[in-house]
């Protein structure tokens, strides 16, 4: 919508916008514009500040915001003073442009930016209604700016089929993001299939992904469809893709490039039409540098990358998440819990949340089971979460290393540097293994190294 009392300006804008592929609605004054806005829904309003009558452009902008708070408005003015700019932006204008329009490229740039911002807002509103409505059971909660950017990316990715790599620590909600992409895309009526790559051996993973023919190996008593076949025309999530072997990396790269595969023991090519989304809790870029992950596969997977921040980096979302999980607990456990005690919320806001959103969900669930009243109290939550996380002490580490340093000197060490490095490295490996209850996959993730590298530092053979 173009609003100006000068007919020549309206005509010029109408022609300019038509050449750019846009349709225009014309209004000659503020009141006419407001009346048209009640029946029309323009993506953008371009309006003069000074107009005849009892209502100028700034007053009209305020009225327009009452009708549609999300309306995008660009103001026009022949008086480019600081005060004019301040008033326009305070009233809720997206931007303003100066008359006369000497630089049409600049005008086009401002209009394009406003239309892009409007589209992103629409996508975000759509995602909120769809993900938080239709998929209420599996929704994504968060108002943190980092989460808002993820919502925008999801909106973009629902309209195309490019491959996506979702990165983030365990428990941040990688699968939820993958589901949000799938269930808001044109593939939403087709299967969504998840494969846990970390939980299967190389042989089992190959059979799980591609299926097998009868008799292809000892226990293959019948033909079996693989997950790629099951997900045909839908979406397949390759969860923890960073844990697959080099052989599987090569096989998967070929499938992605050729869009065909064969069942184990078969030789008939099967067309692969599923959308690929991969997720990982590892730094794949670092894995590539260390030679543990193929660079060509990495770049093939991360056509679009989404990084989900850990909960400790968006603690402002904790109250929202807590109330969401309380609602789920009330429904599943037939409870009537209103909220958590303020002391509990204080504990939640200071906790480090190594297990991220999943840890918070489980704590709310277990606390709700114990809770008999309307509020979750400190005595309802696990003792482990009440204890403050011990801060790392560099002084203690320095003291331990200095003791070893002096001991090695006293023994006449000739290779002091390597011995100290080995001491620190062994200590780190042992601490990570203890933290992970001796689970090598988890320990390698804690340290940010591959499982193969971890096993070498443990002096274990690679095929153990």
CATH of the domain at 190: 3.40.50.300
Is 45 inside a domain boundary?
A: yes
At residue 123, the pLDDT reads 67
- Interval 408-428: pLDDT, tens: 787 777 788 888 888 888 888
Residue 434: CA atoms inside 13 Å, Cβ hemisphere, count?
6
DSSP SS3 for 226: coil
Lowest average pLDDT, out of 64-68, 319-323, 339-343, goes to: 64-68
pLDDT higher than 70, residue 37: yes
Alpha carbons 225 and 196: distance in angstroms, whole number: 17
State the pLDDT confidence band at 134, using cuts at 50, 70 and 90.
Answer: very low
Lowest average pLDDT, out of 142-151, 225-234, 350-359, goes to: 142-151
Residues 6+ apart with CB under 8 A from 85: 96
Nearest CA among 84, 9, 87, 1 for reference residue 39? 1
Within this chain, do residues 382 and 400 fall inside the same structural domain, yes or no?
no
Structure tokens at 65: 């915001």
Within this chain, do residues 214 and 328 fall inside the same structural domain, yes or no?
no
Residue 80: CA atoms inside 13 Å, Cβ hemisphere, count?
7
Assign residue 55 the CATH number of its domain. 3.40.50.2300
Residues 6+ apart with CB under 8 A from 189: none
Is 242 inside a domain boundary?
A: yes
Torsion angle defined by CA atoms of residues 200, 206, 211 and 216, in that order, rounded to the nearest 10 degrees? -110
At residue 105, the pLDDT reads 85
Alpha carbons 170 and 358: distance in angstroms, whole number: 8
What is the layout of strands, in order, in the sheet containing 45-48?
Answer: 26-27, 2-3, 45-48, 73-77, 95-98
- Interval 97-114: pLDDT, tens: 887 777 888 888 899 988
Q: What percent of the chain has pLDDT over 70?
A: 90
At residue 180, the pLDDT reads 87
User: What's 222's DSSP letter?
Assistant: S
pLDDT higher than 80, residue 86: no
Is 150 inside a domain boundary?
A: yes
Q: Domain range holding 400?
A: 394-457
pLDDT higher than 50, residue 306: yes
Within this chain, do residues 155 and 302 fall inside the same structural domain, yes or no?
yes
Q: pTM here?
A: 0.56
Final residue before a domain boundary, out of 336, 365, 386: 386
Which string of b and e fits 407-443 if b means at least 16 CB within 10 Å? ebeeeeeeeeeeebeeeeeeeebeebbeebeeebbbb
Is 68 inside a domain boundary?
A: yes
Instruction: Report CA Rg, the chain.
Output: 29
Torsion angle defined by CA atoms of residues 83, 85, 91 and 93, in that order, rounded to the nearest 10 degrees? 170
Phi and psi torsions of 170, nearest 5° = -60, 130
State the pLDDT confidence band at 126, using cuts at 50, 70 and 90.
Answer: low
Is 131 inside a domain boundary?
A: no
pLDDT higher than 70, residue 322: yes
Structural domains of the chain, count: 4
Is 426 inside a domain boundary?
A: yes
Assign residue 354 the CATH number of its domain. 1.10.8.60
Instruction: Specify the residue for token string 């919502």.
Output: 151
Within this chain, do residues 91 and 202 fall inside the same structural domain, yes or no?
no
Alpha carbons 451 and 248: distance in angstroms, whole number: 16
Within this chain, do residues 320 and 301 fall inside the same structural domain, yes or no?
no
Final residue before a domain boundary, out of 331, 359, 386: 386
Helix (H) or strand (E) holding 397: helix 394-410
Final residue before a domain boundary, out of 119, 153, 187: 119
Structure tokens at 261: 């595969």
Within this chain, do residues 290 and 366 fall inside the same structural domain, yes or no?
no
Give the DSSP per-residue string, 130-192: IIIIITGGG-----SHHHHHHHHHHHHHTTS---EEEE--TTS-HHHHHHHHHHTSTTTTS-E
State the pLDDT confidence band at 315, using cuts at 50, 70 and 90.
Answer: very high
Q: Which residues pair with 305 in a beta bridge?
A: 165
Nearest CA among 272, 277, 282 for reference residue 303? 277
Is 464 inside a domain boundary?
A: no
Structure tokens at 57: 């452009």
At residue 464, the pLDDT reads 46
- Interval 229-272: pLDDT, tens: 999 899 999 999 999 999 999 999 999 999 999 888 888 889 98
pLDDT higher than 70, residue 302: yes
Within this chain, do residues 299 and 316 fall inside the same structural domain, yes or no?
no
Q: Which has the higher per-residue pLDDT, 28 or 130?
A: 28
- Interval 150-189: pLDDT, tens: 888 888 888 888 999 999 999 999 999 999 899 888 898 8
What does DSSP say about strands 375-376 and 339-340: parallel, antiparallel, or unpaired?
parallel
Q: Are 64 and 45 in contact (CB under 8 A)?
A: yes
Is 106 inside a domain boundary?
A: yes
- Interval 379-390: pLDDT, tens: 999 988 886 544
State whether the Cα torsion 270-271-275-278 is positive or negative. positive
Within this chain, do residues 288 and 328 fall inside the same structural domain, yes or no?
no
Within this chain, do residues 318 and 303 fall inside the same structural domain, yes or no?
no
Within this chain, do residues 371 and 411 fall inside the same structural domain, yes or no?
no
388 sits in the region (left: phi over 0; alpha: psi -120 to 50; else beta) called beta
pLDDT higher than 80, residue 135: no
pLDDT higher than 70, residue 460: no
Within this chain, do residues 250 and 105 fall inside the same structural domain, yes or no?
no
- Interval 386-404: pLDDT, tens: 865 444 455 566 767 777 7
Helix (H) or strand (E) holding 300: helix 295-301
Within this chain, do residues 148 and 283 fall inside the same structural domain, yes or no?
yes
Helix (H) or strand (E) holding 26: strand 26-27
At residue 85, the pLDDT reads 63
> CA end-to-end span of the chain, whole Å?
70
Alpha carbons 293 and 301: distance in angstroms, whole number: 12
């Amino acid at each position: 919508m173009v609003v100006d009392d000068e007919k020549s300006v309206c005509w010029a804008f109408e022609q300019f916008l038509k050449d750019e592929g846009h349709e225009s609605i014309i209004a000659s004054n503020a009141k006419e514009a407001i009346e048209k806005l009640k029946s029309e829904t323009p993506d953008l309003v371009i309006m003069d500040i000074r107009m005849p009558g009892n209502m100028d452009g700034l007053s009209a902008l305020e009225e327009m915001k009452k009708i549609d708070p999300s309306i995008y408005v660009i103001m026009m003015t022949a008086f480019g003073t600081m005060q004019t700019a301040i008033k326009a932006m305070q009233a809720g204008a997206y931007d303003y442009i100066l008359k006369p329009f000497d630089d049409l490229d600049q005008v086009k740039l401002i209009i394009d930016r406003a239309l892009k911002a409007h589209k992103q807002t629409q996508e975000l509103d759509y995602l909120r209604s769809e993900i938080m409505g239709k998929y209420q059971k599996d929704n994504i909660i968060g108002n943190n700016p980092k989460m808002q950017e993820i919502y925008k990316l999801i909106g973009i990715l629902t309209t195309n089929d490019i491959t996506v790599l979702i990165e983030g620590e365990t428990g941040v909600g990688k699968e939820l993001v993958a589901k949000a992409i799938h269930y808001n895309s044109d593939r939403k009526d087709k299967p969504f299939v998840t494969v846990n790559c970390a939980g299967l051996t190389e042989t089992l993973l190959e059979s799980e992904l591609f299926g097998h023919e009868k008799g292809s190996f000892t226990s293959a008593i019948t033909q079996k469809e693989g997950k790629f076949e099951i997900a045909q025309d839908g979406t397949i999530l390759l969860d923890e893709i960073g844990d697959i072997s080099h052989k599987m990396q090569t096989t998967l790269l070929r499938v992605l490039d050729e869009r065909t595969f064969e069942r184990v023991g078969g030789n008939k090519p099967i067309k692969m039409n599923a959308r690929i989304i991969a997720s990982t809790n590892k730094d794949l870029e670092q894995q590539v540098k260390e030679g543990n992950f193929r660079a060509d596969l990495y770049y093939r997977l991360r056509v679009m990358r989404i990084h989900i921040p850990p909960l400790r980096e968006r603690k402002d979302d904790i109250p929202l998440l807590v109330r969401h999980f309380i609602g789920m607990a009330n429904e599943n456990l037939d409870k009537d819990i209103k909220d958590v005690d303020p002391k509990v919320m204080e504990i939640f806001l200071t906790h480090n949340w190594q297990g991220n959103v999943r840890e918070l969900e489980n704590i709310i669930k277990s606390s709700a089971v114990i809770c008999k009243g309307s509020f979750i109290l400190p005595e309802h939550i696990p003792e482990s979460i009440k204890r403050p996380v011990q801060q790392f002490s560099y002084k203690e580490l320095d003291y331990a290393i200095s003791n070893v340093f002096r001991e090695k000197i006293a023994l006449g060490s000739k290779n002091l540097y390597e011995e100290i490095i080995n001491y620190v490295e062994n200590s780190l490996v042992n601490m990570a293994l203890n933290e992970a209850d001796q689970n090598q996959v988890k320990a390698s993730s804690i340290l940010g190294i591959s499982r193969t590298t971890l096993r070498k530092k443990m002096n274990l053979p690679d095929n153990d």
